[in-house]
């Protein structure tokens, strides 16, 4: 890291900080990318517009689901690779960041998940309603209903993971710089200029992991701006009726294409997390933080009473977070010129965080990231239109 006196007339201030790579956005993807770059000895910096652990974006909170079960073999294979990345992260951090609980899939999507798991040679089993009543009595199964069980699912300790990634990055020479918003970006061919209130950062490559702010930040910078819509999501915690009861993760696929999900209590969470995975209303992230919806609280309470009798019926205070939705719900992991984009996480990327950090670091350094051709591209047709309109 160095400083350059640009001299009069340079057009962007008298002093410019130089780094090899600048990472913009310190959620799970940006923090993981910073850690991967630091491990390689790259001269880099991690920029965050808010403070550490802020609640304005998508990576805060105590817990997230980890699962191998997906209705798509490509994501199953990615989750298998992510599991190894989590093991390496925990060994490096010296703390447990992923708690294995096993996980269930219910509803129409479970069949597709079982097919994808089988295609990838991942062990799984079907549990009958009697099996479920004996093993997981807190979850109500309908008459004759089966649920898919996969033993490797569990809980990512979200806040602790982001903090650990930032600590490891700083330990190896890539500092977090909070309260440093990037106002604009210029790709000048050979270098990228990031304009911040405290000066200009000149980088050989910039990794943009700005979550809901991604599209706005890249407007006018890239030929193909990835259109992804920030949406408001709401979660609620519930206390178990019995403290000694075993809880798995649960994805309850709905016939309308949405899903409910349940995350067991871990990592300081006040209870089990219950929420619905559907595109919420589109929002402007700069207008946050956003208040919870009482109507959504009531809907979640009704679901808990019907499906989760092992939880106390009245939930604790709800919380909100933001998704950044693409039309196909695939991520954006690509490079254009000197700009690397990591985003469009669509509510399901946290489990891949340590793996995607390595992917983004490779892209920043001009290496092969090992991605499926075109799947996460900036130029794929699904990014040409917003999936949800404010």
**Neighbouring-strand partners of residue 105:** 148, 251
Buried b / exposed e along 320-347 (16+ C-beta atoms within 10 A): bbbbbbbbebbbbbbbbebbbbbbbbbb
Signed CA dihedral, 98, 103, 105, 110: sign only? positive
179 Cβ partners below 8 Å, 6+ apart? 48, 49, 50, 51
pTM of the model: 0.94
- What is the rounded CA–CA span in Å between residue 149 and residue 69? 9
Render each residue's pLDDT in the chain as its tens digit; 390 residues.
Answer: 564 444 433 444 446 899 999 999 999 999 999 999 999 999 999 999 999 999 999 999 999 999 999 999 999 999 999 999 999 999 999 999 999 999 999 999 999 999 999 999 999 999 999 999 999 999 999 999 999 999 999 999 999 999 999 999 999 999 999 999 999 999 988 999 999 999 999 999 999 999 999 999 999 899 889 989 999 999 999 999 998 899 999 999 999 889 999 999 999 999 999 999 987 788 999 999 999 999 999 999 999 999 999 999 889 989 999 999 999 999 999 999 999 999 999 999 999 999 999 999 999 999 999 999 999 999 999 998 554 333
What's the pLDDT score for residue 15?
67
Phi, psi of 100 (to 5 degrees): -85, 125
Determine contact, residues 278/251, Cβ cutoff 8 Å.
no
The rounded radius of gyration (Å) of the Cα atoms in the chain is 21
What's the pLDDT score for residue 5?
46
- What is the rounded CA–CA span in Å between residue 118 and residue 354? 25
Query: CATH 3.50.50.60 region(s) of the chain?
Result: 2-58+160-227+327-384
Burial (CB < 10 A; 0-12, 13-18, 19+), residue 55, is middle
The residue among 105, 144, 148, 100 whose CA lies nearest residue 123 is 148
Counting DSSP H helices and E strands in the chain, the numbers are 8, 20
What's the pLDDT score for residue 4?
47
Residue keyed to tokens 């899939």: 105
CATH node for 92-156+229-325: 3.30.9.10
DSSP symbols for 20-75: EEEEE--SHHHHHHHHHHHHTT--EEEE-SS-TT-SSSSS-SSEEEE-S--SSHHH
What's the pLDDT score for residue 201?
97
What's the pLDDT score for residue 2?
60
What's the pLDDT score for residue 316?
93
55 Cβ partners below 8 Å, 6+ apart? 61, 289, 319, 321
Query: CATH 3.30.9.10 region(s) of the chain?
Result: 92-156+229-325
Residue keyed to tokens 């974006």: 57
CATH node for 2-58+160-227+327-384: 3.50.50.60
């Amino acid at each position: 890291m160095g400083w350059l006196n640009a001299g009069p007339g340079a057009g962007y201030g008298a002093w410019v900080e130089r780094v090899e790579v600048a990472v913009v956005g310190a959620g799970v993807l940006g923090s993981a990318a910073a850690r991967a770059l630091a491990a390689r000895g790259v001269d880099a910096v991690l920029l965050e517009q808010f403070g550490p652990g802020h609640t304005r974006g998508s990576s805060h909170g105590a817990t997230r689901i980890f699962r191998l079960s997906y209705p798509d073999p490509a994501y199953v294979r990615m989750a298998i690779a992510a599991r190894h990345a989590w093991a390496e992260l925990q060994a490096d951090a010296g703390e447990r960041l992923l708690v294995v609980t096993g996980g269930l899939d219910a509803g129409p999507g479970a069949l597709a998940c079982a097919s994808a798991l089988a295609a990838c040679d991942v062990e799984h089993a079907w549990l009958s309603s009697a099996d479920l009543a004996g093993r997981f009595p807190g979850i109500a199964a309908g008459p004759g209903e089966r649920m898919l069980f996969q033993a490797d699912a569990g809980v990512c300790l979200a806040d602790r993971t982001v903090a650990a990634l930032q600590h490891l990055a700083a330990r190896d020479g890539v500092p977090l710089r909070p309260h440093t918003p990037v106002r604009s970006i210029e790709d000048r061919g050979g270098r990228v200029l990031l304009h911040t209130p405290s000066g200009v950062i000149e980088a050989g490559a910039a990794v943009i992991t700005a979550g809901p702010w991604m599209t706005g930040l890249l407007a006018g910078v890239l030929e193909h701006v990835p259109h992804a819509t920030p949406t408001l999501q709401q979660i609620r915690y519930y206390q178990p009726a019995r403290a000694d009861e075993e809880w798995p993760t649960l994805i309850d696929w709905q016939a309308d294409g949405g899903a409910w999900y349940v995350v067991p209590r871990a990592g300081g969470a006040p209870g089990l997390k219950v929420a619905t995975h559907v595109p919420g209303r589109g929002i402007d992230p700069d207008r946050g933080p956003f208040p919870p919806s009482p109507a959504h609280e009531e809907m979640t309470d009704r679901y808990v009473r019907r499906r989760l009798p092992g939880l106390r019926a009245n939930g604790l205070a709800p919380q909100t977070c933001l998704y950044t939705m693409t039309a196909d719900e695939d991520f954006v992991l690509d490079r254009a010129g000197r700009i690397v984009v990591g985003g469009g996480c669509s509510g399901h990327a946290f489990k891949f965080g340590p793996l995607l950090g390595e992917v983004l670091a490779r892209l920043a350094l001009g290496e092969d990231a090992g991605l499926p051709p075109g799947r996460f591209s900036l130029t794929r047709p699904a990014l040409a239109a917003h999936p949800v309109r404010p």
